[in-house]
Amino acid sequence: MRKRYRYVALELASPLVAIAFAVLVGAVVIAAIGKNPVQVYRIMFTFAFRRLDSVGIMLFGATPLIFSGLAVAISFRAGLFNIGVEGQYLIGTFLAALAGFALKGLPSFVHLPLVIVVAALGGALWSLLPIYLKVRRGVHEVISTIMLNYIAFSLIHYLIADVFMDKQQGLMPGVGNPLIRLPKIAASALMPRMHGFLALLGVDLPRHVYLNWFFPLGLLLAVAVHYLIWRTAFGYELRAVGHNPAAAEAAGIDPAAVQIRAFLLSGLIAGVTGLSDLLSYFGYMDLDFPKGYGFTGIAVALMGKNSPLGIVLAALLFGFLNRGAEGVQTFAGVPMDTVVILQGVMILSIVVASAVMGRYIRRQERKEALGASW
């Protein structure tokens, strides 16, 4: 069936078409603010790819998005929309930070895994209520997870600022106010950076790059999710329920049970999203801890078509765009918001392109199948 490969190629082409279109729109925007698009794009590329630190920063930037993208994709596959990855990772990160500073004297090989598990459980905890409400009460998960995101924001704010704030911070000279943050995480819970390993390979990563072992962990997780979805009985049920719960039910699969498990799994993965930043870059959680990974994760899953490989690629693309934006801002005087526009257009056009392409492919496949059965 040589034609099937053609369809796969077409399927892959749709994100590329969308990216090309977004680049075009971005060019118009750049031209509108009086800059030369070609030059700006060139700076973006050279800044991102010619410098070793940029590449490392891109990979570091992609790391949380791999986790949040996978979390969203698993729920999508089960026919659910987990819009709550945002709140789930904040809760997970908070609990991880708590376990990071509260537990002392543990060896690293116990403490670090423990903190990761706590973060995952925190994410799952925050996904428990929406899925319970969904299967028992019919409350749509989009509504409940969005609402829980706000609750998570406020709750974290309260817990950091009023309950667990680090009162013993030594004030930096010249800075009047202490940071509103949790106590620092014990060294035994921090994730090592990849510098040592890369040095062995002859790559000398600069100190200001925080690329750490969560990146390869994310890649491993993507591989694991791939096998889970396509090669396990649970993944089979998950897809069956996602496509057609009525038929799954008639076949003896309990759609509610599958959806609960899928959603909790999504929450588990979501919970780990913030750890790359927490356990290597910050070392503590403060009020300004990066937000938005959950929402960007939705875009990443969408762009990656809910496939783990696609998600990794999409996360890298976002990492590149963010790093490129910094370069463009510094060296071309183009505001970073231009790149945000680029991202937005890209997501919109990818949705359109994949819908159009999907319809075309299905029509072709149908005709072909009809032809064969005649």
Partner 1 sequence: MAFLELREVTKRFPGVVANDRISLEIDRGEIRALVGENGAGKSTLMKVLSGLYQPDAGEIRLDGRRVVIDSPRRAIELGIGMVHQHFMLIPRFTVLENIVLGSEPARGGLLREREARRIVGELCQKYEFTLDLGARVEDLSVGAQQRVEILKVLYRGAEILILDEPTAVLAPQEVRELFVNLRHLRDQGKTIIFISHKLDEVLEIADRISVLRRGVLVGTVRREETERAALARMMVGRPVLLELEKGPYRPGEDRLVVEDLTVPGPGGRPAVRRVSLRVRAGEIYGIAGIEGNGQSELVEALSGLRRASAGRILIGGVSVTEATMRRMRPVTEGRVRRARPVAEGRVRRLRELGLAHIPEDRQRRGLILAMTVWENGVLGLHRSPSFARRGWLQVRPIKKHAQSLVREFDIRLPGLDIPVRNVSGGNQQKLILARELGREPTLIVASQPTRGLDIGATEFVRQQLLRARDRGRAVLLVSADLEEVLSLSDRVGVMYGGELVAEFRPGEVTPEEIGHYMLGGRARATEAAVGGTRGADGAGGTGGAGGGVGPAGGTGGAAGADGGVRGRGGAGEAGGTGGGMA
The residues that touch partner 1, with contacts defined as CB under 8 A, are 1, 4, 134-138, 231-237, 239-240, 243-244, 246-257, 362, 364-374
Q: 286: helix, coil or strand? A: strand
Classify residue 23 by burial, with Cβ atoms within 10 Å: 0-12, 13-18, 19+. middle
- In 3D, which of 32, 8, 25, 94 has the Cα closest to residue 343? 25
CB of 89 to partner 1, least distance (A): 27
Nearer to partner 1, 42 or 359 (CB): 359
Nearer to partner 1, 203 or 257 (CB): 257
Nearer to partner 1, 6 or 50 (CB): 6
Single-letter code of the amino acid located at 238: L
CB of 348 to partner 1, least distance (A): 24
Nearer to partner 1, 156 or 240 (CB): 240
Helix (H) or strand (E) holding 166: none
CB of 255 to partner 1, least distance (A): 7
Nearer to partner 1, 137 or 207 (CB): 137
Nearer to partner 1, 3 or 50 (CB): 3
Task: Residue 296: count other Cβ atoms within 10 Å of its Cβ.
Answer: 23
Ramachandran region of residue 209, left (φ > 0), alpha (ψ -120 to 50) or beta?
beta
Quote the CA–CA distance of 50 and 31 in Å, as a whole number: 25
Q: Which two tokens stand for residue 119?
A: 């973060």
Quote the CA–CA distance of 202 and 61 in Å, as a whole number: 22
CB of 308 to partner 1, least distance (A): 17
CB 108 within 8 A of CB 185: no
CB of 134 to partner 1, least distance (A): 8
Nearer to partner 1, 209 or 240 (CB): 240
CA neighbours within 13 Å on the CB side: how many for 31? Answer: 8
CB of 301 to partner 1, least distance (A): 18
CB 88 within 8 A of CB 264: no
CB of 228 to partner 1, least distance (A): 9
